[in-house]
C-alpha cells in the first residue's frame, strides 16, 4: 500500500498560509497521485504542547476537519482522522523519544522559535514534539509527506529515526520522502513579511488571513498589506519582501509564473495589483467557505471521522505491536 500522509495542528483557524502550503496542495497531489491512499489527520496531541482553551480546541478540531473536506479532497481515497483517537500515536511517540537524542531535538529551529514566543514556560512535550511527529508518519509507513518549508527539519529527523531503527532492529520502517509545496511553501505575514503567517498569531492581526474571515475582511487585509515605495510589481524577496509575498499568493492561486505576473502589471501600480489579488483570494476562499458551511454541522462529517479512526487504528495498532516485538517489550 502506498501512503501519502500529512497533518495540521488545530491551534486556531487555518490561515491562507496553511491553505496554500498544505490543504490546497493535498488536493492537487490527490488528483495527481491516483494510486496512493491519502491519510490526513488533525494533530490535536501536537496542539496541546502549547496551552489551549478546551472549548476553542474542540471547535478548532471540527472546523479543521470540515475545512479539509471543503478544500475538495476526494473522500473515496481519504482516511481523515483525529490523532488523539488513535492511541498508537502516543505509544509510538514514546518509542521515538527513546530513540531520539537530546542534542538533535535541541537543534530544531521550530522549538527555538516557539521558546521565544512562549517565554513564560516551555513544556516538555513541545521539546519532544518532533519525536511524536516522526511517530505519526512512521506508524503508517508513509512514502511521501507533503509539508511546507517550515517542517523540513522535522522530516529530516523522522528519516534519521527510521534509519536508526532499521539499522538496529532490521528493516521495519519505510523511510519517508518530503514533498515540498512548489509555490506557497512559506507564506509570510502581510504586515511583517520577515515572519511566516501562523494560525496561532493574534486573531485580530491584520497580517494574517484566516480561512473563515468574512470575505470583505480578507480583501481589506490584502489591500493594506505592506509593500515598498518603488511601486513596481517585481519579484525580489530580498529587497521587496512584501510584494514578493503577495506575488507568491497570486501565483499559487492562479498558476501564473512570477514573470507572467510582472508582465501583466507592467506600468501599473500596487493599487491595481492588490485590488485584483483581493478579488482572486476572496473568490478562492469564498468557494471553500461555501462548502465548509454545508459540512460543518453535518452527520457526514462524523461518519467520515469515525471511518477514518477505524482504518487508522487498524493499521497503527498492527504496526505498534510489531515494533514492541522488535524492541522486546510486552508479549507481542
Q: Which residues are catalytic?
A: 114, 196, 199
CB 175, CB 163: distance < 8 Å: yes
Residues in the chain: 332
The least CB distance from residue 47 to ligand AQP, in Å, is 7
Residue with cell 491519510: 39
For residue 287, the minimal CB distance to ligand AQP (Å) is 20
Concatenated DSSP letters of 81-141: EEGGGSTHHHHHHHHHHHH--HHHHHT-HHHHHHHHH-TT---HHHHHHHHHHHHHHHTTT
Q: Is the dihedral of CA 10, 277, 197, 248 positive or negative?
A: positive
Minimum distance of ligand AQP from residue 327's CB (angstroms): 28
> Looking at 56, 150, 156, 228, which residue binds ligand AQP (CB under 6 A)?
150
Q: According to CB under 6 A, which one of 89, 154, 196, 219 is a site residue for ligand AQP?
A: 196
Could you say which of 3, 13, 17, 219 contacts ligand AQP (CB under 6 A)?
17
Which residues inside 158-187 make contact with ligand AQP, applying CB under 6 A? 184-187
Q: For residue 195, what is its C-alpha cell?
A: 515572519
Comparison of 182 and 287: residue with beta carbon closer to ligand AQP: 182
Distance CA 43, CA 14 (A): 13
Stretch that binds ligand AQP, among 16-24, 263-271, 272-280, 287-295 (CB under 6 A): 16-24
Bridge partners, residue 40, by sequence: 6, 80
Shortest Å, Cβ 270 to ligand AQP:
22
Assess contact for 322 and 172: CB atoms under 8 A: yes
Phi, psi (degrees; rounded to nearest 5) at 317: -65, -40
The 34-73 site mask, x for binding ligand AQP (CB under 6 A), equals ---------x------------------------------
Least distance in angstroms from the C-beta of 91 to ligand AQP: 21
Query: Nearest residue to ligand AQP, using CB?
Result: 21
Contacting range for ligand AQP; rule: CB under 6 A; set: 13-21, 55-63, 221-229, 294-302: 13-21
Q: Using the minimum distance from each CB to ligand AQP, give the nearer residue, 161 or 185.
A: 185
Backbone angles phi, psi at 112, to 5 degrees: -65, -40
Q: Considering the rule CB under 6 A, would residue 264 count as an interface residue with ligand AQP?
A: no
Among 134, 133, 127, residue whose Cα is nearest residue 162: 134
For residue 124, count CB atoms less than 10 angstroms from its CB and return exposed for 0-12, middle for 13-18, buried for 19 or more. exposed
Residues within the interface to ligand AQP (CB under 6 A): 8-9, 11, 15, 17-18, 20-22, 43, 147-148, 150-151, 184-187, 196-200
Amino acid at each position: 500500500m502506498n501512503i501519502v500522509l500529512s497533518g495540521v495542528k488545530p491551534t486556531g483557524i487555518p490561515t491562507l498560509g496553511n491553505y496554500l502550503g498544505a490543504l490546497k496542495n493535498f488536493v492537487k497531489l490527490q488528483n495527481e497521485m491516483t494510486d496512493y491512499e491519502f491519510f490526513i489527520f488533525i494533530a490535536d496531541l501536537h496542539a496541546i504542547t502549547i496551552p489551549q482553551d478546551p472549548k476553542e480546541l474542540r471547535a478548532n478540531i471540527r472546523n479543521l476537519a470540515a475545512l479539509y473536506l471543503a478544500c475538495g479532497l476526494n473522500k473515496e481515497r481519504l482516511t481523515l482522522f483525529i490523532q488523539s483517537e488513535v492511541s498508537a500515536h502516543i505509544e509510538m511517540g514514546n518509542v521515538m523519544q527513546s530513540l531520539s537524542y537530546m542534542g538533535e531535538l535541541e537543534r530544531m529551529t521550530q522549538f527555538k522559535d516557539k521558546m521565544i514566543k512562549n517565554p513564560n514556560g516551555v513544556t516538555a512535550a513541545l521539546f519532544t514534539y518532533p519525536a511524536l511527529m516522526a511517530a505519526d508518519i512512521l506508524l503508517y509507513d508513509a512514502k511521501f509527506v507533503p509539508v511546507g518549508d517550515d517542517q523540513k527539519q522535522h522530516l529530516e529527523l523522522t528519516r534519521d529515526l527510521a534509519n536508526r531503527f532499521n539499522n538496529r532492529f532490521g528493516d521495519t520502517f519505510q523511510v519517508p520522502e518530503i514533498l515540498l509545496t512548489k509555490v506557497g511553501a512559506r507564506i509570510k505575514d502581510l504586515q511583517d513579511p520577515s515572519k511566516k503567517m501562523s494560525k496561532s498569531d493574534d486573531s485580530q492581526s491584520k497580517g494574517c488571513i484566516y480561512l473563515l474571515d468574512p470575505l470583505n475582511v480578507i480583501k481589506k487585509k490584502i489591500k493594506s498589506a505592506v509593500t515598498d515605495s518603488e511601486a513596481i510589481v517585481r519579484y525580489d524577496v530580498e529587497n521587496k519582501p512584501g510584494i514578493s509575498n503577495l506575488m507568491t499568493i497570486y501565483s499559487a492561486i492562479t498558476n501564473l509564473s512570477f514573470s507572467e505576473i510582472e508582465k501583466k502589471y507592467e506600468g501599473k501600480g500596487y493599487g491595481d495589483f492588490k485590488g485584483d489579488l483581493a478579488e482572486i483570494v476572496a473568490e478562492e476562499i469564498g468557494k471553500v467557505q461555501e462548502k465548509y458551511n454545508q459540512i460543518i454541522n453535518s452527520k457526514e462529517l462524523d461518519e467520515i471521522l469515525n471511518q477514518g479512526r477505524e482504518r487508522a487504528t487498524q493499521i497503527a495498532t498492527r504496526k505498534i505491536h510489531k515494533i514492541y516485538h522488535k524492541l522486546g517489550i510486552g508479549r507481542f
